[in-house]
Amino acid sequence: MVKYSAIRNYKKFKKMYPNFVLFIKYGKYYYIYEADTKILIYLYDSYTESNSFRMEKEKFKDVLSGLFSNGLNVV
């Protein structure tokens, strides 16, 4: 049996949608990884040492609005 892996799914879908900012929902959180994390850091003047970013649904809605207002595609 194969266990669910958010990062594995991220990489799979990122190949299909390379020009989109990709969020993976896992449980009650939305995750963003790798280069997409750098986009969020840049847009929101945030800082994280990890290569991923996790947010709850309410924060996700705000981030989604911000990404759309900056003309970015989101999946």
Instruction: Say what the pLDDT of residue 16 is.
Output: 92
Domain edges within the chain? 6-69
Q: What is the amino acid identity at position 22? A: L
Q: What fold is seen in the domain 6-69?
A: MutS, DNA mismatch repair protein, domain I (3.40.1170)
Q: Which residues of the chain have pLDDT under 50?
A: none
Q: What is the pLDDT of residues 23-33, one digit of tens each?
A: 888 888 888 88
Residues 6+ apart with CB under 8 A from 46: 40, 53
